[in-house]
Chains A and B, each alone.
Chain A
Amino acid sequence: MGISARRTALHKLHVVTRFVIAFSIGLAIVFIRGPSDIILAVALLLLSVVLTCLGGVPIRSLSKFLVVIVSVTIFIGFSFIFLTQIPGKTTYLEYVIMSIETAKGIFTWKILISDGTLTYLFIYCSRIVIMVFSAIFLLGTIDDREVIWGMRSVGLPYGATVVAALFFRGISLFADDFFTVRDAMAVRGVDFAKTSLLKKLHLYFYSLIPIFSLMLRRSYDISLALESRGLSPTSKPPMIFHQMRFKTADYFVTILCIVAVLVIYLEKSF
């Protein structure tokens, strides 16, 4: 996603711990359901923002997610204002757009903005913002190298880690090929910006032919290269050069995350 964070103390945590933190926040979001959960929403929102900052994610990289956050907020806002009437203690705006008499009574479509509307809007938007920030935290603070090390340190087979490395490599190759094929179409007169959606889909389908043929050829070449280096899915190295060990801080943070999620669960369920 192109987020690269500067190294901070948080990067010293085991990659699994960083996964646990992001996963725990994601799990806790489930318990934000209504106005009574506003304290939890604020707490998680603050926590995810603080973690993102402590994780060394540059503020400017957040700008690319602003469009998503703002558009989702607008969509939810319009839904609460135009399609749902949420009453509250204070009403800021109430305006009847349409009133129709039907056999079952009078149907009224109105705009209602109350403190209840704003609370719900905040709750729902905060869930999305928390998810976005925790994802940014996770993607910004781990790289593919650490994922591989993490996989090895939790005892996954060597072959699985090589496959994972190949997967990460495949993503970048696929993206490179896709953009090159698109460029190759553009120089032959294809204007993706001014092409109809149907035609665009048709052209993207065309582009899959070279992409898949290149992928097949590359995967064949890469597998040959791996085999010729004596590596196979069943290889068992006698030692691991980069070892990631769970330290006291990792145990502490992991236990803290588990306890926090349990407390929230118990608090909200009973």
Chain B
Amino acid sequence: MSEILKVEDLWWKYEGREDWVLRGLDLSVSSGEVVGIIGPSGAGKTTFCLSLIGVIPQRLQGAFRGKVTVDGLDTVHNDLTKISRKLSLVFEDPEVQYVMSTVEDEILLALENIIDSREKIADRIEWALNAVGLSTDFLLRNPLQLSGGEKQLVAIASAIATHPKILVLDEPTSDVDPVGKLEVFDSIRKLREELGVTVVIVEHETEFLSRLADRIVAFSNGKVAFAGTPQEIFCNISAIQQLDVFPPQPSQITCSLGLKPSLTEEEAENTLREAIVKGNLRIRKPPEESAIVSIDRVELVALDGVHFSYPNGVEALNGIDLKIFEGDFIALVGPNGSGKSTLAKILCGLLSPKAGQVKIEGKPISKFHRRDLARLVSYVFQNPDHQLFNQTVKEEVAFAPKILGISEDEVEERTDESISEMELNGLENEHPLFLSKGERRRLALASILSLKPKMLIIDEPTTGQDYRTNSKIMALLRNLNRKGFTILLITHALPIVSSNVSRLLVMYMGKILKDGAPRVVLDDDEVVKKARLIVPTAKRIAESLSGYGIPRNALTADELLQYLTL
């Protein structure tokens, strides 16, 4: 295969920054190859993508060294329009790519510049939509009103409509529900098979990546740390974990046991089965479950027949009955548009139900003063930037207690406690907007924590972050829950949260489809299918090997490994 993309000794430093983001990066990609890029936050992955299309150095200010060649075009000397005909880039957030108000106009935007026949343009639009599995029914829909998966598919359709030779995708599934992620990856696979397009994809979801990529390149500190086949890279568990990358569960399980490294679920099942049959692997007896102590649970929130519809007529909640108890640790999951955020806003009084009743501590929510409600239920928004408006970290955390009219001494005490709880010590006098994304997210949490609400609702705390950041956030949340906070997480990241939470609430079309312990909920195939969930791979492997005595309830690779020994 001929070389289509070549990056030679690439260095880049943004203007006004001291550190180089890219530090002598070398990479060569062959025509038709699928290359997966992994690495921790700040490794230079997005900057690398921008340098492939020529935005770096042609449009952004900074220091540039090295050479990038895209299908024979040098990105420094060739116009972006020319490069963009060969290479298309899809960004992490599909919404930033949308300019026009309909899907048709969005795809059309680039086509009008390269095709001079109306019929050909119409054909190409239809082809692009079909290629990503969407129909022409989408043409007149507003891209911003699509589901997360559909938004990303439209962004990919817009990118491939120009028939680029190379498709670069920067974390294309970070805000998409689990089945939506599968759909996006399936579309990319089809494009590769049908068009032979070369794909460079930056992704945290290593399990998906391992099934799609021919080669994995791990970035660290602005350069290539190591590269190889998915088998080589993902079976080197310690190396990729050092890069804050979450390894695919099949390889984590097989490699940890010292068995033949397996990338896919099927391979892992076969490897484990073979080892068990040959007697190389023994099943440990599951630990005796401690007797369940019945304790009186204190009801914190009760919803009875709650309905809500938006002014445009969309019925977001369709009869919700729910009870939340003090100390619950709940994950609220469900497909995009199933009503999760609406339910959360109802719970903290931002929206009022059209019918039904919401009670907090037995009192109707409408009877609460806003300040009193904030002490009971509060909400951490998905994008921390919506929440940060003070001049320093300390002022930000102190804002809410001051609003509540708490004494100065207590405000000080709560502020220090929250800052310390979220591990932001030393940053008290920093401006919130100058913190890293992970720090801003923790600050947003600290700014709510200082209210000491009984219940915290946290919207997508793990989206688009690396393994280490997510592990840290989950550890902080577990700790808060142990201290008595009731926590409700809105999330798509089932593999990350399922082993941490005590309750899984599944929403579907404005209703609670299932409510129970994660292991019980995920055993219900119908619920899993309807809610577009994907059962964690470790659980599927455990189920398929349950005939050998492996308990079916393992949710993570670590849990499954507890039952296996050499």
Give the interface of A toward B (CB within 8 A): 2, 143-145, 148, 162, 165-166, 168-169, 172, 177, 180-181, 183-191, 193-194, 206-207, 209-210, 213-214, 217-218, 221-232, 235, 237-242
Q: Chain B contacts of A242 at CB under 8 A?
A: 105, 108
Q: Chain A contacts of B386 at CB under 8 A?
A: 177, 180-181, 184, 210, 214
B385 and A214 contact, CB distance less than 8 A: yes
The distance in angstroms between the C-alpha atoms of A204 and B444, with both chains bound, is 19
B388 and A210 contact, CB distance less than 8 A: yes
B101 and A145 contact, CB distance less than 8 A: yes
Q: What are 14 A-to-B residue pairs whose CB atoms are below 8 Å?
A: A145-B105, A165-B100, A169-B101, A180-B386, A181-B389, A183-B350, A184-B381, A188-B378, A189-B375, A209-B433, A210-B386, A213-B433, A228-B88, A231-B109
| B447 on interface, CB distance cutoff 8 Å | yes
Q: Chain B contacts of A228 at CB under 8 A?
A: 50, 53, 55, 80, 84, 88-89
The distance in angstroms between the C-alpha atoms of A158 and B540, with both chains bound, is 53
Chain A, residue nearest B111 (CB): A241
The distance in angstroms between the C-alpha atoms of A234 and B101, with both chains bound, is 22
**CB of B154, distance to nearest CB on chain A (Å):** 13
Chain A, residue nearest B382 (CB): A180
A interface secondary structure, majority: helix
Chain B, residue nearest A234 (CB): B81
Question: 10 additional contacts, CB 8 Å, given A187-B378, A188-B448, A224-B55?
Answer: A180-B381, A181-B387, A186-B374, A187-B348, A191-B369, A191-B370, A214-B385, A227-B55, A228-B89, A240-B112
B387 and A226 contact, CB distance less than 8 A: no
B109 and A225 contact, CB distance less than 8 A: no
B80 and A239 contact, CB distance less than 8 A: no
| B85 on interface, CB distance cutoff 8 Å | yes
Q: Taking A145-B102, A187-B448, A210-B389 as contacts, is the C-beta distance between A238 and B50 under 8 angstroms? A: no
| B77 on interface, CB distance cutoff 8 Å | no
Contact of A144 among B85, B101, B388 (CB under 8 A): B101
Chain A, residue nearest B375 (CB): A189
A186 and B105 contact, CB distance less than 8 A: no
Q: Which of B91-99, B198-206, B479-487, B549-557 contacts A (4 or more CB under 8 A)?
A: B91-99
| B468 on interface, CB distance cutoff 8 Å | no
The distance in angstroms between the C-alpha atoms of A210 and B53, with both chains bound, is 30
Chain A, residue nearest B112 (CB): A237
B117 and A165 contact, CB distance less than 8 A: no
Q: Taking A228-B89, A229-B110, A240-B112 as contacts, is the C-beta distance between A165 and B350 under 8 angstroms? A: no
Q: Taking A172-B144, A241-B108, A241-B121 as contacts, is the C-beta distance between A229 and B98 under 8 angstroms? A: no
The distance in angstroms between the C-alpha atoms of A187 and B98, with both chains bound, is 30
**CB of A137, distance to nearest CB on chain B (Å):** 20
A229 and B88 contact, CB distance less than 8 A: yes
| B404 on interface, CB distance cutoff 8 Å | yes
The distance in angstroms between the C-alpha atoms of A148 and B93, with both chains bound, is 25
Taking each of A144, A165, A209, A224, which has the highest tally of chain B beta carbons within 10 Å of its own beta carbon?
A224
A169 and B399 contact, CB distance less than 8 A: no
Contact of A188 among B98, B115, B447 (CB under 8 A): B447
Chain B, residue nearest A4 (CB): B312
Chain B, residue nearest A149 (CB): B105
Q: Chain A contacts of B278 at CB under 8 A?
A: none
**CB of B136, distance to nearest CB on chain A (Å):** 15
B400 and A218 contact, CB distance less than 8 A: no
**CB of A108, distance to nearest CB on chain B (Å):** 51
B403 and A189 contact, CB distance less than 8 A: yes
List residues 360-387 of chain B with CB under 8 A from any CB of chain A: 369-371, 374-375, 378-379, 381, 383, 385-387
Q: Taking A189-B374, A189-B451, A239-B117 as contacts, is the C-beta distance between A230 and B381 under 8 angstroms? A: no
The distance in angstroms between the C-alpha atoms of A214 and B122, with both chains bound, is 35
Q: Report the 9 A-B pairs with minimum CB-CB distance, sorted nearest first.
A: A230-B84, A191-B370, A189-B374, A230-B81, A237-B112, A188-B400, A221-B96, A189-B403, A238-B116
B91 and A225 contact, CB distance less than 8 A: yes
Q: Chain A contacts of B159 at CB under 8 A?
A: 229
Q: Chain B contacts of A165 at CB under 8 A?
A: 99-101
| B17 on interface, CB distance cutoff 8 Å | no
A194 and B370 contact, CB distance less than 8 A: yes
The distance in angstroms between the C-alpha atoms of A239 and B369, with both chains bound, is 59
The distance in angstroms between the C-alpha atoms of A148 and B106, with both chains bound, is 13
The distance in angstroms between the C-alpha atoms of A161 and B220, with both chains bound, is 41
Taking each of B55, B98, B101, B345, which has the highest tally of chain A beta carbons within 10 Å of its own beta carbon?
B101
Q: Chain A contacts of B371 at CB under 8 A?
A: 189, 191
The distance in angstroms between the C-alpha atoms of A145 and B85, with both chains bound, is 25
B101 and A143 contact, CB distance less than 8 A: yes
The distance in angstroms between the C-alpha atoms of A184 and B399, with both chains bound, is 12
List residues 308-347 of chain B with CB under 8 A from any CB of chain A: 311, 345
The distance in angstroms between the C-alpha atoms of A188 and B84, with both chains bound, is 45
B400 and A189 contact, CB distance less than 8 A: yes
B50 and A145 contact, CB distance less than 8 A: no
Q: Taking A214-B386, A217-B385, A228-B80 as contacts, is the C-beta distance between A190 and B101 under 8 angstroms? A: no
**CB of A226, distance to nearest CB on chain B (Å):** 7
Chain A, residue nearest B84 (CB): A230
| B59 on interface, CB distance cutoff 8 Å | yes
Chain A, residue nearest B116 (CB): A238
Q: Chain A contacts of B2 at CB under 8 A?
A: none
The distance in angstroms between the C-alpha atoms of A241 and B59, with both chains bound, is 28
Q: Chain A contacts of B385 at CB under 8 A?
A: 210, 213-214, 217
| B83 on interface, CB distance cutoff 8 Å | yes
Q: Chain A contacts of B387 at CB under 8 A?
A: 181, 184, 210
A225 and B108 contact, CB distance less than 8 A: no
Chain B, residue nearest A178 (CB): B386
Q: Chain B contacts of A223 at CB under 8 A?
A: 59
Q: Chain A contacts of B370 at CB under 8 A?
A: 186, 189-191, 193-194
The distance in angstroms between the C-alpha atoms of A214 and B111, with both chains bound, is 30
Chain A, residue nearest B52 (CB): A228
Q: Chain B contacts of A162 at CB under 8 A?
A: 99, 109
A227 and B389 contact, CB distance less than 8 A: no
A231 and B113 contact, CB distance less than 8 A: yes
**CB of A153, distance to nearest CB on chain B (Å):** 14
List residues 54-80 of chain B with CB under 8 A from any CB of chain A: 55, 59-60, 80
Chain B, residue nearest A187 (CB): B379
The distance in angstroms between the C-alpha atoms of A217 and B437, with both chains bound, is 13
**CB of B470, distance to nearest CB on chain A (Å):** 22
Q: Taking A230-B85, A235-B113, A239-B116 as contacts, is the C-beta distance between A183 and B345 under 8 angstroms? A: yes
The distance in angstroms between the C-alpha atoms of A185 and B400, with both chains bound, is 9
| B297 on interface, CB distance cutoff 8 Å | no
Contact of B112 among A184, A189, A239 (CB under 8 A): A239
Q: Chain B contacts of A187 at CB under 8 A?
A: 348, 350, 374, 378-379, 448
B381 and A166 contact, CB distance less than 8 A: no
Q: Chain B contacts of A2 at CB under 8 A?
A: 311
The distance in angstroms between the C-alpha atoms of A117 and B311, with both chains bound, is 41
The distance in angstroms between the C-alpha atoms of A144 and B50, with both chains bound, is 30
Taking each of A169, A193, A207, A229, which has the highest tally of chain B beta carbons within 10 Å of its own beta carbon?
A229
The distance in angstroms between the C-alpha atoms of A263 and B96, with both chains bound, is 50
Taking each of A177, A240, A241, which has the highest tally of chain B beta carbons within 10 Å of its own beta carbon?
A241
The distance in angstroms between the C-alpha atoms of A169 and B142, with both chains bound, is 11
Q: Taking A180-B381, A209-B389, A235-B81 as contacts, is the C-beta distance between A218 and B96 under 8 angstroms? A: yes
